[in-house]
Structure 1
Amino acid sequence: MVSPTFIFYFTLTLFLFLNVSKAQIKNSTKTILVDKSGKGQFTTVQKAIDSIPSKNKQWTTILVNAGVYKEKVTIIKDKEFIVLKGKGRASTVIEWDDSGNSLASSTFLLYASNFMARDITFKNTYNLVLEDDVLKKITWAPAALVRGDKASFYGCGFIGIQDTLTDLHGRHYFYNCYIEGAVDFIWGSSQSLFENSEINVKSKEIGVGKAFIAAQGRQSASEASAFVFKNCKVTGTGPAYLGRAYKKYSTVVYYQSSFDNIIDPEGWNIMRQAGNEKDITFAEAQCKGPGANLSNRVKWEKTLSSGELQKFIDQKVFLNQDNWIEEQLKHV
């Protein structure tokens, strides 16, 4: 007869083994290598993504060796838990030339949640190269579209002219990134924090007159969406507006950021929401540099209290209440 003590310890051991195994499976990370010269498992980024099964629950790192990958890349909604990692934003580039649609023309399209990108650049080459010394019509040509929830980008580049970063929906975190453009080149209705990043304005080079950095589309007072720039630097050529409203409750905040002498004295602009200035939240706090002079800003720029400001600049409060950013970093 099997003793009760043996049954107890056997059951306990089995329970612990099964639960440890589940945790290991959940936290394990698979790696796929992409190399355009054929030294990896795939020669294109899209083929590597396509190899990940639908409804994937295992964190998978797609390691992309240095090179310029001329392709359009899409991550569909049911391919979550992907880390896309390059060898540096100067050496690993995904680029494509497409234009005419603020969504579909994107070089990189992310519809899935639970995603991280590191050390890689997304570029739309439309309008970046003169053809017979003539610049093509300035139009929508995004480098990246981000639509899923819980997406983070570290050391990444986003290069284009109009709508460079289509930051559409969800909670997004950008750290130590580089974003370049001229016309509404960070736009959308997402809840995004840009930290320690460079925003480079290219208005002079393309002759578009005044540039517009952020076009944020919060539509109601109950939404949490906003663009927050914390410890960022705005460089390049101007003149440029820090942002312009294209929805009734557009919300953009710059905190402890530095501005080159390229910012239009008024600072802010309205696209289609004239008359709703009281509902728009455009604010600057503790910023510096020759472009940070507030004396001639629009009268409807908001001055936030310390409590109001904290809701935007505190990562935990603004978009990371469930610690999703820390959870993602465990799989790098």
Structure 2
Amino acid sequence: MAKMSGKGQFTTVQKAINSIPSNNKQWTIILLNAGVYKEKVMIVKEKPYIILKGMGKSSTVIEWGDSGNSLESSTFKLYAPNFMARDITFKITWAPAALVRGDNASFYGCGFIGIQDTLTDLIGRHYFYNCYIEGAVDFIWGASQSLYQNSEINVKSKEIGVGKAFITAQGRQSASEASAFVFKNCKVTGTGPAYLGRAYKKYSTVVYYQSSFDNIIDPEGWNIMRQAGNEKYITYAEVECKGPGADMSKRVKWEKTLTAEQQKKFVDQKLFLNQDGWIEEQRLHL
């Protein structure tokens, strides 16, 4: 495994990434010193096996002030498979802080700060552990197969005056896809009011498992963006959640009740997205 020491060999994060050979097959760690890196960063699909490692999500920040197209304006864009980030915050003014569309991508102790479309979790299998995600409008969206574990989801709707916030806009399009967002042992905090999600596509799938909700969740819990009439196909579920926002007595009637077997397929990491052990293999290199 190669390592770039963080002692100033490169003046930008992008220059360090560009120095790694295309079609690299050796895990390479890029160490980022504490500080604010004001730049856009992109990892193209020909640059797999990269680890971006900061000094802490509060002290190592990659930031840009763009807005506009949610697929083009991201501060950080990942297209390569086999990627890890640790202890870094990705930040933007309005557009996505990060766009993730490479398979087998994992984030540990990372932050994602924005307002709308903060985390474009687009395509692939992704794992987020002990992360912090902040926003107000559809701020976790896309059609990936992702597990968010032990993470904080912070709603900022009151501060920016958007009315009601929408945490997720999940984009599963067919019954045959594995696409879903699963929040396991997470906490939803902030100012609200907020919906846990709104259906972005016909088979939108989001599960909150053993998570806690502040008193900011709209009593209905869930909403539909453009998919009215497809409620029977949508899988929105809360399992063993707690906190003042977890009262399900007034939730939408089409929220699903999962069987024990269905629950396990979502919340068991091995069954949901780690069948080939890629998460454990990656951890060996952190």
Does TM-score exceed 0.5, indicating one fold?
A: yes
Is structure 2 residue 18 aligned with structure 1 residue 30? no
Deviations 1:282-323 (A, max 9, x none): 000000000000000000000001100000000000000000
For 2:180, the equivalent position in structure 1 comes to 226
- Which of 204, 213, 236 does residue 259 from structure 1 map onto? 213
Alignment of 1:236-255 (within 5 A): 236-255=190-209
Residue identity in the other structure for 2:27: W
Q: Distance in 1 between matches of 2:109 and 2:170?
A: 23
Local SS of the residue matching 1:49: helix
For 1:81, the equivalent position in structure 2 comes to 49
Local SS of the residue matching 1:213: strand
Local SS of the residue matching 2:173: coil
Q: Distance in 2 between matches of 1:277 and 1:156?
A: 34
Identity of matched residues, %: 83
Is structure 2 residue 133 aligned with structure 1 residue 165? no
Residue identity in the other structure for 2:45: K
- Which of 54, 58, 69 does residue 90 from structure 1 map onto? 58
Which 5+ residue runs of structure 2 have no aligned equivalent?
A: none
1:234 deviates by 0.1
Q: Distance in 2 between matches of 1:125 and 1:305?
A: 41
Is structure 2 residue 13 aligned with structure 1 residue 45? yes
Please tell me whether Structure 1 or Structure 2 has the larger radius of gyration of its CA atoms: 1
Local SS of the residue matching 2:126: strand
Q: Distance in 1 between matches of 2:67 and 2:52?
A: 24
For 2:69, the equivalent position in structure 1 comes to 101
Q: Distance in 1 between matches of 2:200 and 2:141?
A: 9
Is structure 2 residue 284 aligned with structure 1 residue 316? no
Deviations 1:68-98 (A, max 9, x none): 0000000000100001000000000000011
The Cα RMSD (Å) is: 0.6
- Which of 172, 189, 199 does residue 235 from structure 1 map onto? 189
For 1:9, the equivalent position in structure 2 comes to none
The structure with more helix, counted as a fraction of residues: 1
Local SS of the residue matching 2:243: coil
Alignment of 1:1-332 (within 5 A): 29-34=1-6, 39-126=7-94, 141-332=95-286
Local SS of the residue matching 2:261: helix
Structure 1 residue runs of 4+, over 3 Å off? Answer: none
1:33 deviates by 3.2
> Does structure 2 retain, via aligned residues, the 8 Å contact 1:261–1:290?
yes
> Does structure 2 retain, via aligned residues, the 8 Å contact 1:33–1:42?
no
Q: Distance in 1 between matches of 2:71 and 2:113?
A: 15
1:331 deviates by 1.1
Local SS of the residue matching 1:278: coil
Scaled by the length of structure 1, the TM-score of the pair is: 0.86
Q: Distance in 2 between matches of 1:85 and 1:323?
A: 22
> Does structure 2 retain, via aligned residues, the 8 Å contact 1:33–1:65?
no
Local SS of the residue matching 1:61: strand
1:43 deviates by 1.8
Q: Distance in 2 between matches of 1:101 and 1:227?
A: 23
> Does structure 1 retain, via aligned residues, the 8 Å contact 2:67–2:93?
no
> Does structure 1 retain, via aligned residues, the 8 Å contact 2:75–2:91?
yes
For 1:129, the equivalent position in structure 2 comes to none
For 1:134, the equivalent position in structure 2 comes to none
Local SS of the residue matching 2:238: strand
